[in-house]
């Protein structure tokens, strides 16, 4: 018998419950990828993530071909594609791993029902999370809105599934349509602006394993200390691999827990706690699907966001705000498709608080430029930094980008790497170049003279606006 294995954001063979189910059921798996961005609602994948996907699909196809099978690629509506392929290949089952984006959850529910109505065995699995969103509830029976109690409950109920490695060869069939060449999907940018990305990344399952190995041997050993320092490789950089499901979170947890020893206890716990932020983000997205567009905290409905000025928005997007740590972050993002978490918070705070732009402005730009763009994590991150979301920082905590830079980039190395034009400034001016205008004019003539929003004035205006919201509490 044949079974379609519908690959989505689970682009791996190991620890892949849908793929495993096909093999365990004695089926010949027909691996399929369907490109249907118009089915993702307002959040069709962004450009950087699509470029990543291209390489990840190529890696998945290569892994299948090494085992005697292959990936069939289609660009047509998902339901019709599955139905006609099942008919053409005489497949009796369709297996996939669940996704949690609101538009996709709705679509998949409909697809499952229709396939079953037509006599197919349609079954979905958890391929992405340690704890699926509906597994945990507060004592009152509702979803969590605060991280720490969520994390405590999730950790207490955690059971890691056993690991699965794919067989060296797979049964294969030539029946039915073979699909399109990967290039036909046009996932790679035409202008080649992604060229610099691939010096930093290796998309695909093998790349994910290597990143985990490198982390376990390297940055893990000082994770709690160095995870906040953007000039170091202090984190795992597994986020795009996790987003595309190139590695299962339970494999990451299992590999790290196996290294447990007193010296590493805090580092491993600290890392697994971060993984649970991802779980929390999925919990929130599932239970509060409107939050991709609207504030989780309804008190912000009338918040006085500033009107968007095209020039200011462009300055933020392209790293020309005149605030070095903000500009360095935005350029890291543009050049590598990724930005360090600490700097994401700093650029986000500058946009939402100093510039007082709606967090959606930031979320949209990240969506298009991050290789790890993930609707759950991005929504949580932006609402958190704007103060409109779950477990958000109190409104009066406006990051000062200068003191943030002094604290987390103490040698100014991160700034100098991404803004080489400032590398010749003494350290104090590298953090706040406007404090010595003549030095700035002499040594970095191309850099903005002063921030697009003055730090003190921006902070005061933000506090005034936020105070109105909190007065309504
Ligand atoms: P590590 O420190 O090695 O953490 C390991 C894993 O834990 C990450 O890969 C990630 O999956 C998860 N994780 C860590 N921190 C967070 C967090 N704060 N929220 C959710 N998950 C977390 N992450 C994305 O994956 N996609 C996004 O689109 C995204 N947008 C963000 C937007 C803003 C404004 C902010 C402040 C954060 C955003 N994050 C997003 C979270 C975080 O910045 C990245 O997950 C992290 O920088 C990835 O680097 P890493 O894999 O080296 O992290």
**Is 73 strand, coil or helix?**
strand
248 secondary structure, DSSP code: -
List, in order of start, the domains of the chain with CATH numbers: 2-126 (3.40.50.620), 129-162+204-287 (1.25.40.80), 298-471 (1.10.579.10)
Q: Of all atoms in ligand 1, which is nearest to the CA of residue 378?
A: 30
Residue 71 falls in which region: left (phi positive, over 0), alpha (psi -120 to 50) or beta: beta
**Ligand 1 midpoint to CA 372 (Å):** 8
Q: What is the mean pLDDT of each run of 10 residues along the chain (473 residues)?
A: 98 98 98 98 97 98 98 98 97 98 98 98 98 96 96 94 97 94 96 89 98 98 97 97 98 97 96 98 98 94 95 98 98 97 98 97 98 98 93 82 98 98 96 97 96 98 90 62
Question: Is residue 251 in contact with ligand 1, taking CB distance under 6 Å?
Answer: no
Q: Which pLDDT value is given to residue 191? A: 85
Measure the N-to-C terminal CA separation of the chain; round to a whole number of Å.
Answer: 61
Q: Count of residues for the chain? A: 473
Give dist(CA 421, CA 117) in Å, integer: 63
Nearest to 347 by CA among 387, 316, 307, 370: 316
* C-alpha distances out from residue 185 to 39, 357, 444, 463, Å: 15, 35, 43, 47
What letter would DSSP give residue 30?
Answer: E
Q: Which of 57, 84, 96 is nearest to 175 (CA)?
A: 84
- Please state, in angstroms and rounded to a whole number, the distance separating the CA atoms of residues 421 and 416: 8
Distance 93 CA to ligand 1 centre (A): 35
| Position in ligand 1 atom list of the atom nearest CA 375 | 28
Give the CA count within 13 Å in the CB-facing half-sphere of 32: 35
**381: Cβ below 6 Å to ligand 1?**
yes
Q: Would the ipTM clear 0.95, i.e. be above it?
A: yes
Q: What is the pLDDT of residue 393?
A: 72
Question: Which protein residue's CA is at the shortest distance from atom 2 of ligand 1?
Answer: 235
Task: For the chain, count helices (H), then strands (E).
Answer: 20, 5
> From the CA of 236, how far away is ligand 1's center (Å)?
10
> What separation in Å is there between the alpha carbon of 341 and the centre of ligand 1?
6
Edge-to-edge strand list for the sheet holding 91-97: 72-74, 28-34, 2-7, 91-97, 121-125
Q: What per-residue confidence (pLDDT) applies to 472? A: 62
CA 325 – CA 283 distance, rounded (Å): 32
- Residue 144: what are its φ and ψ, rounded to 5°? -75, 150
Specify whether the CB–CB gap between 153 and 52 falls below 8 A: no
């Amino acid at each position: 018998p044949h079974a379609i294995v519908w690959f989505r954001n689970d682009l791996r063979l190991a620890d892949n419950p849908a793929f495993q189910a096909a093999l365990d059921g004695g089926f010949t798996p027909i691996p399929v990828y369907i490109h249907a961005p118009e089915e993702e609602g307002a959040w069709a994948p962004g450009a950087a993530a699509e470029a990543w996907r291209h390489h990840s699909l190529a890696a998945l196809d290569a892994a299948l071909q090494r085992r005697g099978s292959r990936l069939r690629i289609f660009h047509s509506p998902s339901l019709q594609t599955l139905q006609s392929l099942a008919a053409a290949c005489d497949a009796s089952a369709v297996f996939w791993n669940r996704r949690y984006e609101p538009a996709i959850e709705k679509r998949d529910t409909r697809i499952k029902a229709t396939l079953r109505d037509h006599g197919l065995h349609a079954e979905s699995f958890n391929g992405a999370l340690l704890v699926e969103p509906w597994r945990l509830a507060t004592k009152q029976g509702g979803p969590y809105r605060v991280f720490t109690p969520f994390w405590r409950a999730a950790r207490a109920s955690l059971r890691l599934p056993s690991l699965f490695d794919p067989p060296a060869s797979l049964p294969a069939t030539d029946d039915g349509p073979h699909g399109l060449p990967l290039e036909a999907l046009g996932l790679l940018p035409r202008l080649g602006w992604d060229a610099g990305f691939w010096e930093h990344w290796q998309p695909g399952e093998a790349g994910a394993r290597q990143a985990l190995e490198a982390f376990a041997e390297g940055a893990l050993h000082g994770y709690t200390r160095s995870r906040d320092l953007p000039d170091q490789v202090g984190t795992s950089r597994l986020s795009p691999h996790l987003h595309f499901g190139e590695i299962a979170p339970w494999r990451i947890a299992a590999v790290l827990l196996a290294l447990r020893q007193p010296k590493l206890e805090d580092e491993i716990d600290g890392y697994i706690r971060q993984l649970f932020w991802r779980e929390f983000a999925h919990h929130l997205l599932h239970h509060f699907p409107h939050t991709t567009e609207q504030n989780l905290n309804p008190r912000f409905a009338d918040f006085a966001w500033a009107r968007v000025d095209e020039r200011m928005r462009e300055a933020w997007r392209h790293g020309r705000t005149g605030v070095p740590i903000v500009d360095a972050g935005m350029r890291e993002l543009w050049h590598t498709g990724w930005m360090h978490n600490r700097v994401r918070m700093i650029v986000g705070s500058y946009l939402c608080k100093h510039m007082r732009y709606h967090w959606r402005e930031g979320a949209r730009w990240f969506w298009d430029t991050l290789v790890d763009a993930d609707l759950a994590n991005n929504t949580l991150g932006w609402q958190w930094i704007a103060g409109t979301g779950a477990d958000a920082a109190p409104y009066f905590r406006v990051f000062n980008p200068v003191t943030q830079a002094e604290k987390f980039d103490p040698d100014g190395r991160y700034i100098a790497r991404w803004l080489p034009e400032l590398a010749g400034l003494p350290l104090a001016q590298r953090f706040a170049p406007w404090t010595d205008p003549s030095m700035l004019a002499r040594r970095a003539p191309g850099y903005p003279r002063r921030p697009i929003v003055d730090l003190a004035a921006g902070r005061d205006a933000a506090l005034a606006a936020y105070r109105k919201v909190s007065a309504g509490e």
